[in-house]
Amino acid sequence: RESFDIHLAGEDAMVAFGRQLGSMLPDGCLVFLEGDLGAGKTTLSRGMLSAFGHHGVVKSPTYTLVEPYHLGKKLIYHFDLYRLGDPEELEYIGIRDYLQQANCCLVEWPERGAGMLPEPDLRIQIRIENGARRVLVEANTERGEGAIKQLAA
Protein backbone atom coordinates (compact mmCIF):
# COMPACT_ATOMS: atom_id res chain seq x y z
CA ARG A 1 0.00 0.00 0.00
CA GLU A 2 1.04 3.56 -0.67
CA SER A 3 2.29 5.78 2.11
CA PHE A 4 3.65 9.28 2.40
CA ASP A 5 5.62 10.83 5.20
CA ILE A 6 6.59 14.38 5.89
CA HIS A 7 8.38 16.40 8.56
CA LEU A 8 6.48 19.52 9.54
CA ALA A 9 7.81 22.28 11.80
CA GLY A 10 5.17 24.50 13.31
CA GLU A 11 1.43 24.75 13.49
CA ASP A 12 1.10 26.72 10.25
CA ALA A 13 2.91 24.00 8.28
CA MET A 14 0.63 21.41 9.87
CA VAL A 15 -2.52 23.30 8.92
CA ALA A 16 -1.24 23.89 5.38
CA PHE A 17 -0.47 20.20 4.93
CA GLY A 18 -3.91 19.31 6.32
CA ARG A 19 -5.51 21.65 3.79
CA GLN A 20 -3.59 20.00 0.95
CA LEU A 21 -4.55 16.54 2.17
CA GLY A 22 -8.16 17.61 2.68
CA SER A 23 -8.44 18.75 -0.92
CA MET A 24 -7.47 15.24 -2.04
CA LEU A 25 -9.90 13.28 0.08
CA PRO A 26 -12.39 11.25 -1.95
CA ASP A 27 -16.08 11.38 -1.14
CA GLY A 28 -17.15 9.11 1.68
CA CYS A 29 -13.66 8.72 3.09
CA LEU A 30 -12.82 7.63 6.59
CA VAL A 31 -9.61 9.04 8.06
CA PHE A 32 -7.99 7.84 11.29
CA LEU A 33 -5.68 10.22 13.18
CA GLU A 34 -3.33 8.59 15.67
CA GLY A 35 -0.76 10.10 18.01
CA ASP A 36 -0.31 11.15 21.64
CA LEU A 37 -2.17 13.99 23.29
CA GLY A 38 -0.81 17.21 21.82
CA ALA A 39 0.64 15.46 18.77
CA GLY A 40 -1.40 17.62 16.41
CA LYS A 41 -4.43 15.55 15.38
CA THR A 42 -6.86 18.42 15.88
CA THR A 43 -4.49 20.87 14.20
CA LEU A 44 -4.27 18.62 11.15
CA SER A 45 -8.06 18.17 11.22
CA ARG A 46 -8.42 21.95 11.18
CA GLY A 47 -6.37 22.03 7.98
CA MET A 48 -8.48 19.29 6.39
CA LEU A 49 -11.70 21.06 7.40
CA SER A 50 -10.43 24.28 5.88
CA ALA A 51 -10.13 22.47 2.54
CA PHE A 52 -13.87 21.85 2.78
CA GLY A 53 -14.49 25.53 3.57
CA HIS A 54 -14.44 25.71 7.36
CA HIS A 55 -12.20 28.57 8.45
CA GLY A 56 -13.14 28.98 12.10
CA VAL A 57 -12.10 27.30 15.29
CA VAL A 58 -12.00 23.51 15.52
CA LYS A 59 -12.49 22.35 19.06
CA SER A 60 -11.58 18.85 20.01
CA PRO A 61 -14.98 17.20 20.53
CA THR A 62 -13.65 15.28 23.51
CA TYR A 63 -16.80 15.26 25.64
CA THR A 64 -19.36 15.19 22.87
CA LEU A 65 -17.27 12.63 20.93
CA VAL A 66 -18.36 14.12 17.61
CA GLU A 67 -18.80 17.53 15.99
CA PRO A 68 -20.66 17.95 12.69
CA TYR A 69 -19.57 20.46 10.06
CA HIS A 70 -22.09 21.36 7.35
CA LEU A 71 -20.00 22.92 4.61
CA GLY A 72 -21.86 23.72 1.42
CA LYS A 73 -23.39 20.44 0.34
CA LYS A 74 -20.87 18.45 2.33
CA LEU A 75 -21.22 16.99 5.76
CA ILE A 76 -18.04 16.27 7.66
CA TYR A 77 -17.94 14.60 11.07
CA HIS A 78 -14.98 15.14 13.34
CA PHE A 79 -14.74 12.51 16.07
CA ASP A 80 -12.55 12.44 19.15
CA LEU A 81 -12.90 9.09 20.89
CA TYR A 82 -10.46 9.84 23.72
CA ARG A 83 -13.24 9.73 26.32
CA LEU A 84 -15.02 6.75 24.87
CA GLY A 85 -15.41 4.29 27.74
CA ASP A 86 -16.06 1.22 25.66
CA PRO A 87 -16.07 0.68 21.87
CA GLU A 88 -19.64 -0.66 22.22
CA GLU A 89 -20.81 2.87 23.02
CA LEU A 90 -20.31 3.70 19.36
CA GLU A 91 -23.24 1.44 18.61
CA TYR A 92 -25.47 3.53 20.88
CA ILE A 93 -24.47 6.84 19.35
CA GLY A 94 -25.36 5.36 15.95
CA ILE A 95 -21.89 5.23 14.45
CA ARG A 96 -23.11 3.46 11.31
CA ASP A 97 -25.48 6.31 10.44
CA TYR A 98 -22.73 8.85 10.93
CA LEU A 99 -20.41 6.94 8.64
CA GLN A 100 -23.10 6.51 5.99
CA GLN A 101 -24.26 10.12 5.98
CA ALA A 102 -20.90 11.82 5.97
CA ASN A 103 -18.94 12.97 2.97
CA CYS A 104 -15.95 12.51 5.20
CA CYS A 105 -15.25 11.33 8.75
CA LEU A 106 -12.12 12.35 10.63
CA VAL A 107 -11.49 10.23 13.74
CA GLU A 108 -9.05 11.08 16.53
CA TRP A 109 -8.20 8.20 18.88
CA PRO A 110 -9.68 5.50 16.62
CA GLU A 111 -7.92 2.91 18.83
CA ARG A 112 -10.58 3.58 21.47
CA GLY A 113 -13.26 2.38 19.07
CA ALA A 114 -11.43 -0.80 18.09
CA GLY A 115 -13.72 -3.44 16.66
CA MET A 116 -16.57 -0.99 16.11
CA LEU A 117 -15.08 1.06 13.30
CA PRO A 118 -14.57 -0.11 9.73
CA GLU A 119 -11.15 -0.04 8.12
CA PRO A 120 -10.16 3.55 7.30
CA ASP A 121 -9.24 4.76 3.83
CA LEU A 122 -6.32 6.65 5.32
CA ARG A 123 -4.45 6.16 8.54
CA ILE A 124 -2.42 9.13 9.76
CA GLN A 125 0.16 8.74 12.50
CA ILE A 126 1.74 11.81 14.07
CA ARG A 127 4.91 11.68 16.12
CA ILE A 128 6.51 14.51 18.05
CA GLU A 129 10.10 15.02 16.91
CA ASN A 130 12.18 17.67 18.66
CA GLY A 131 9.26 20.06 18.89
CA ALA A 132 8.28 19.48 15.26
CA ARG A 133 6.16 16.64 13.89
CA ARG A 134 6.60 13.60 11.67
CA VAL A 135 3.37 12.80 9.86
CA LEU A 136 2.92 9.41 8.22
CA VAL A 137 -0.08 8.94 5.94
CA GLU A 138 -0.88 5.36 4.95
CA ALA A 139 -3.49 4.21 2.47
CA ASN A 140 -5.62 1.32 3.52
CA THR A 141 -8.02 1.18 0.57
CA GLU A 142 -7.92 1.95 -3.12
CA ARG A 143 -9.69 5.24 -2.44
CA GLY A 144 -7.04 6.13 0.08
CA GLU A 145 -4.33 5.25 -2.42
CA GLY A 146 -5.75 7.73 -4.87
CA ALA A 147 -5.32 10.51 -2.33
CA ILE A 148 -1.74 9.54 -1.51
CA LYS A 149 -0.75 9.37 -5.17
CA GLN A 150 -1.88 12.97 -5.50
CA LEU A 151 0.17 13.94 -2.44
CA ALA A 152 3.27 12.32 -3.82
CA ALA A 153 2.79 13.84 -7.30
Binding residues for ligand ADP, rule: CB under 6 A, are: 8-11, 13-14, 35, 37-43, 60, 108, 131-133
Q: Taking the CB of residue 68, how many other CB atoms lie within 10 A of it? A: 14
Answer for the pair 49, 58: CB distance below 8 angstroms, yes or no.
Answer: yes
Query: 7: closest CA among 133, 137, 142, 113?
Result: 133
In the complex with ligand ADP, the residue whose CB is nearer, 8 or 25, is 8
Q: What share of the chain is helix, strand, coil (3-state, %, to 5)?
A: 30, 30, 40
In the complex with ligand ADP, the residue whose CB is nearer, 11 or 88, is 11
Query: 28: closest CA among 94, 120, 112?
Result: 120
In the complex with ligand ADP, the residue whose CB is nearer, 37 or 114, is 37
Residue 18 C-beta: closest distance to ligand ADP, Å: 9
Residue 107 C-beta: closest distance to ligand ADP, Å: 12
Residue 142 C-beta: closest distance to ligand ADP, Å: 28
Binding to Mg ion by residue 41, rule CB under 5 A? yes
